[in-house]
Structure 1
């Protein structure tokens, strides 16, 4: 693909969702907007801070709750990482970055926030408490590790906190040993998980109380979900998404990235995994046999009658409910440049229930219409807009993740006109 081809002018960010570990709140991020709903109090949350200080000015690309639920992190294209105290929803620190941020992770002990940029560097800051037991971001970010000039697409700490796993656009998964002092860098590589033939889009860990160290699961642009032992880097099993969802994908989808795995969500302390696929109006529900180290399909859960193709998935610990969002940061061509987002929930997600996995109607979602109005911005999101949003995100993801091929003449021209060459002159 030559420069200028493939609708490069289309640059949108997906709508994202994150769920508090105890299911006390849920956050949707779309464009530069964070929308928080307090599920325990059944009310929208107003983010508290100095006016304008904590607001993002560009698309949010990553959001994450800490495992203990005390912190929340948001980051994105404005090169800022905001760290929030969940109790007050006050921004306790803003980190300014050199490059746009692509992913975030919080250590299991809640002491370190890691974030990765599009140049392939993972940075770390520490979070401490003052005499009044108030949390604050202590230091400026320091580089922790790096991939070689490749966009880092996902970060995840292992459940026991021993490893930090980072995935990139060049199909690599790196497993780094988390040192006692992360601010001094993570110089020891435990393993590489190699086997994907396209970019790795998402990571998560599957674990239970009986198998506490867990197994790593990854999704990719090669239409597979893979199971790994991250300690050894061994590939344990492969699930081919395309072979299972071909009958469910809509007709008329053209071009690349038909069966890209865009997100996956493992149920905490459980064996089920929900998988979002770029051309599927629903999700693929998998089960991980931890002792047997295998993946198997449970079912494909369709959202009948709607062009709802999830862009992000989330769930809380011990909950039988999974949250899904579909949407993008902006949409042109339908007389609107506003963000588009639609929220759904699915019950029967966990393995310890006899309930059939079912997508809930709007009036049965926790918070019901009040929640939807706050998180979506509107109760009326038309089907054509959701379809156009899914297509816009497919094109944008293709432009971002599929590496461009240049002719020799074009490569020489790009070398001559590089920004650093201009600066040197």
Structure 2
């Protein structure tokens, strides 16, 4: 029986790939891509690849798939974390690792407080940890902040005014927690729950409206919807059936389950537009957000012609009004590529203009940037269709909750390799 269980677990692991991730510096100085354990950064100011420096380890800096990357709101910090149970904090000024944080379990999401004083990360057990950046040691010990109790946390966000920290999970819920004055003692006061999604919540983003600076939240989900929330009360303000509106799904819902999950979203134009990536769409959906009416509507569907490009992550460059996208995975089944990534840029992301997908020679940084972030200038185009299917399978394995028989549970207990933090 153990051999059968092991074989089943082995088959599952073969599809547990990591999607490619992308992040753009708030001032547009840098763009970073993570695929598998590789972290690649391009500097627009010098028009060259960045050499990362981590005195604590030799390359690679991460020894397993990176699951989360992001810049701080002011661009003074960058974090990367993932399956190697390690979170690294970098200074974008010199791209030196200023701190390495060890986690007991794999990291699934990260967030940086808007004042730059704290970094939070979530693990696969549903715990959120906090790191105090005021302490001067290189290896910082994380402290428990809050918990979702055995539900994988998929997204973490600080509200723009730093009053709340939001955590979303695979069990359909979004928790809004008051961020305390002394968070090292834990965050125990829940402001609200945003309940309404019928599948896992995959991504969160705030609407940066000046007249309502903290309370309007966007969420994407495996139920193929983008929803608008008032986080102060937890009220659901609007539901947009993006897969139906984009023509991917009939209104009667006849489609393979989880086939049209929203994988990522980001706001542009001060929240007037929302870019949405959907699991089976070769392109993006642009939603118009009416802040005063508190509604969402489909403005445009931007298709990417001539390429098998299904975005796995989106990032906005507010200084140029460009939308950066990446697709790809780590360890693509059936291919010799150790990691596969493709970067595209959409310009003219505006309410009135027609968005344009830039050719490789028109992308800021050009071929030099593509070689840095992709690892090469080109790939077998058919590989990206396989990559899109691999991401679907991996997302289902990670986020669709499964019930294990007794034998499987016992085998999983025996083979766990949680890292216990030393006192």
TM-score, normalisation: structure 1: 0.90
Bigger mean CA offset, 41-50 vs 304-313: 41-50
Separation in 1 of the partners of 2:353 and 2:133? 40
Superposition deviation, residue 200 in structure 1: 0.3
Structure 1 alignment gaps of length 5 or more: 131-135
Query: Any unmatched runs of 5+ in structure 2?
Result: 418-423
Q: Secondary structure of 1:269's partner?
A: helix
Q: Partners of 2:315 and 2:269 in 1: how far apart?
A: 10
What residue in structure 1 maps to residue 96 of structure 2?
A: 90
Match of 1:413 in 2: 407
Could you list the per-position Cα deviations for residues 198-225 of structure 1 after superposition, in whole angstroms to 9, with x for gaps in the alignment?
0000001011233322510000000100
| Structure 1 residues 78-101: Cα deviation after superposition (integer angstroms, max 9, x where no partner) | 000000011010000000100000
Alignment CA distance shift 1:119-1:207 (3 Å): same
Spell out the pairing of 1:259-274 with structure 2 (5 A cutoff).
Answer: 259-267=260-268, 269-274=270-275
Contact 1:166–1:175 (Cα < 8 Å) also in 2: yes
Query: Does the alignment pair 1:33 with 2:38?
Result: yes
The count of residues paired between Structure 1 and Structure 2 equals 407
Q: Aligned-pair distance for 1:382?
A: 1.7
TM alignment of 1:50-129, pairs within 5 A: 50=55, 51-52=57-58, 55-128=61-134
Q: After the TM superposition, which residues 374-393 of structure 1 pair with which residues of structure 2 at under 5 Å, given as runs?
A: 374-393=372-391
For residues 245-280 of structure 1, give each alpha carbon's deviation from its aligned partner in whole angstroms, at most 9, with x where no partner exists.
Answer: 23599xxx9853211000111126332110000000
Separation in 1 of the partners of 2:409 and 2:243? 39
Do 2:100 and 2:140's aligned partners in 1 also have CA atoms closer than 8 Å? no
| Correspondence for 2:402 among 392, 398, 404 | 404
Q: Secondary structure at the match of 2:407?
A: helix
Shift of 1:40: 2.1
Alignment TM-score, normalising by the size of structure 2: 0.91
User: Once superposed, what is the RMSD of the aligned Cα atoms?
Assistant: 2.5
Residues 282, 311 of structure 2: 8 Å contact kept:
yes
CA displacement 1:50-80 (0-9 Å, x = unmatched) = 2517700000000010000000000000000
Counterpart residue number, 2:47: 42
Instruction: Give the distance between the partners of 1:319 and 1:237, measured in 2 at CA.
Output: 29
Residue number in structure 1 paired with 2:198: 197
* Cα distance change, pair 265–6 in 1 and its aligned pair in 2 (3 A): farther
Q: Which residue number corresponds to residue 420 of structure 2? A: none
Partner of 1:133 in structure 2?
none
